A and B are shown apart, each in its own frame.
Chain A
Amino acid sequence: MSSLFHITVDGRPVPVEPGQTIGAALHAAGVRSWRTTRFGGRPRGLFCGIGVCFDCLISVNGREPERACLLEAEPGDEVRTA
């Protein structure tokens, strides 16, 4: 049921519990920022945690950026931080 799987973050394996979002998995692994802002280059990660603020945008498997807090992680997902 709850066997861990892995995703890769910039090539590094990160463990995930089934049902966790990308954002939760990153946060649990101590990765708390994964993009920078357009103007000030400020680091951004989770803030609202429920899909409202869009701070946590992240690209998974080369797709357009999505909200990490809403996106359920799937085995083998490849995540790139900016």
Chain B
Amino acid sequence: MMYDLVVVGGGPAGVAGALTAALAGLRVALVDSGVRLGGQYFRHAATPKPAAGLDRFLRQGRALGTRADVLLRHQVWNVSSEPDGSLTVHCLTRSPAALPGDGGSAGSPGSVDSAGAAGAAGAAGAAGAAGAAGAAGAAGVAGSGERAVRVRARRLLIATGAHDRPLPFPGWDLPGVLTAGGAQALLKGGGVVAGGRIVISGTGPFLLPVAAGLAGAGSRVLGVYEANGGLGLARHPLLALGKAGEAAGYAAALARYRVPYRTRQAVVAAHGKHEVEAVTVARLDKDWNVLATRVVECDTVAVGYGFVPQIELGTQLGCRTRPDVDGGPVLDVDEALRTSVPGVWAAGEPAGVGGWRLAELEGRIAGRSIVADARGAVSGEVAPVIGRRRERWRAFGEALQRAYPVKPGWQGWLRADTLVCRCEEVPLARVREAQALGATDARSVKLLARPGMGWCQGRICGYAVSCLTGEPPQPPRRPIAQPVTLGALASLADTDLTGTDLADTSLTDAELAGTDLTGTDDPPAH
């Protein structure tokens, strides 16, 4: 069997897109690396505390679980286009079976990922292979407990979100220094406060909920240091953007817990022997050059300088990119969220950083466009009211990016021995050495000095290396998006989907008759 749609990413964009398509009768699979749906914004504990926005998302997730195959704990390492125009999503998982009851998000009866007899419904019988439900080929890799799983579909929605964009500084690799998103993930996903005495630094509105969350959960937040802006919370750009309620909420939370919010300041160094014990906080000029410093004792630091959208699945397929407002590459999509490659849509941060509301809206727009495409209709029609709403949220996201740029002065925070690349332990001196040898762009620096050649594939240091070479960040070249063992690759040869029923791919009349894609703008499953 082949799906009408495979969605990669189980956050607000992916779930909205998948649910919109599934409600219209399409056969949908959603793949996510996490243990529960939610992505970053709606990350939640196994037994989540009630909260309005999260409750609504969880209802959507439960609705999706009854109408689509939700494959959690599946990491996508490649997407390839097939000669017949379909797409194959290559995943790795250690999950033995779809586990029901994870916040209502997994374990639909026909789930792809149930471990079953080898050869079930079309997967050729490699020993130990699981290929239940006939939808995916799966093969066990001896020794590692890891299985390669393939999901084939007519269409792909890339809803892979974004990760924090850290900047290097002396001591940033000490344990106890986390990304702001990492601290948030610990709190949301595991109920764990990152530390007892925490300093938050970076730029952008995301620092505020992180600070409010940690303070509310019992951390002593010693300060929020926002490198941009000279105006303070009273003139925070959220206010100018019609988000007074949200900004006031954070301001009130910070005031309640007596958390200082300081603009034009940043953590420029972390100190400690085995873990962070103190940081240097600097007063900055408007270009982030250091004016004055002081030392603050703390046990934890959370840093974030904006976000890097995860677009490598799109670039693997040849999707065109464009520079986002901040210069970072994102997938170029039209008003119906179609990328430049037929059959491939993108929604949420990979199409431009804008937050969860925009992401969810884009997921729904993409879902509708995909449904229209599946029905053979022209898929570019977007209801004007929805298009305008998307433009408003896009303008909001772009205004925030403009209000919180990364300024070049951070490069002066680094010392010769400051690691730029954490994986390969490449200090600034080696980057400069490569440049002295004639490497003028980030790629040449990488080939000479190895920043970006390690486990993270340059996701963490790529932006910094681009800045250090004076080059705008380039679209990622990652033909393999996750580490994959040779054993997993070898197992694929044994699990060709020769039995795949290509004939059974179109919507039947009965299915179409049962669909109801109304023109209303109600959220899915609301």
Contact = CB atoms under 8 A, between A and B. Distances in A.
Interface of A: 1-2, 17-21, 23-25, 27-28, 32-33, 37-40, 42-55, 57, 63-64, 66, 69-70, 72
B190 interface: yes
Contacts of A18: 46-47
Contacts of B518: none
5 contacts: A1-B47, A24-B191, A27-B194, A48-B163, A49-B183
B163 A27 contact: no
A18 to B, nearest CB: 5
B119 to A, nearest CB: 27
Query: Which 10 pairs across A and B sit closest by C-beta, in order of nearness?
Result: A19-B46, A49-B182, A24-B190, A54-B455, A33-B175, A49-B185, A32-B175, A20-B190, A45-B175, A28-B192
B88 interface: no
Contacts of B422: 47, 53, 55
B182 A46 contact: yes
B456 A54 contact: yes
Contacts, number: 119
A64 B45 contact: no
B186 interface: yes
A14 B390 CA distance: 47
B93 to A, nearest CB: 11
Interface of B: 33-36, 40, 45-47, 75, 94, 144-145, 163-164, 166, 173-179, 181-186, 189-192, 194, 274-275, 422-423, 425, 454-456, 459-460, 483, 485
A46 B178 contact: yes
Contacts of A66: 94
A47 B459 CA distance: 13
A53 B425 contact: no
B425 A40 contact: yes
Contacts of B177: 47
A52 B401 CA distance: 22
Contacts of A17: 45-46, 190-191
A38 B425 contact: yes
B33 A44 contact: no
Given A24-B191, A70-B34, 13 more contacts: A2-B46, A17-B190, A27-B186, A27-B192, A32-B275, A43-B174, A44-B173, A47-B422, A48-B163, A48-B460, A49-B186, A52-B459, A64-B144
B185 A19 contact: no
Nearest to B308: A52
Nearest to B34: A70
A45 B182 CA distance: 11
Contacts of B35: 19, 21, 70, 72
A37 B424 CA distance: 9
Given A19-B35, A19-B46, A52-B459, A69 B185 contact: yes
**Residue in B173, B175, B178, B425 with the greatest tally of chain A CB atoms within 10 Å:** B175
A82 to B, nearest CB: 13
Given A33-B274, A49-B178, A49-B183, A19 B45 contact: yes
A20 B182 CA distance: 14
B180 to A, nearest CB: 10
B192 A24 contact: yes
A42 to B, nearest CB: 6
B425 A44 contact: no
Contacts of A20: 46, 189-192
A17 B333 CA distance: 42
A53 B175 contact: no
Contacts of B190: 17, 19-21, 24-25, 27-28
Given A32-B175, A33-B275, A43-B274, A63 B145 contact: yes
A64 B425 CA distance: 22
A33 to B, nearest CB: 4
B181 A49 contact: yes
B182 A48 contact: yes
A32 B422 CA distance: 17
A51 B94 CA distance: 15
A3 to B, nearest CB: 11
Nearest to B45: A19
B189 A24 contact: yes
B425 A43 contact: no
A21 B175 contact: no
Contacts of B275: 32-33, 43
Contacts of B184: 49
B47 A2 contact: yes
A24 B422 CA distance: 21
A53 B459 contact: yes
A19 to B, nearest CB: 3
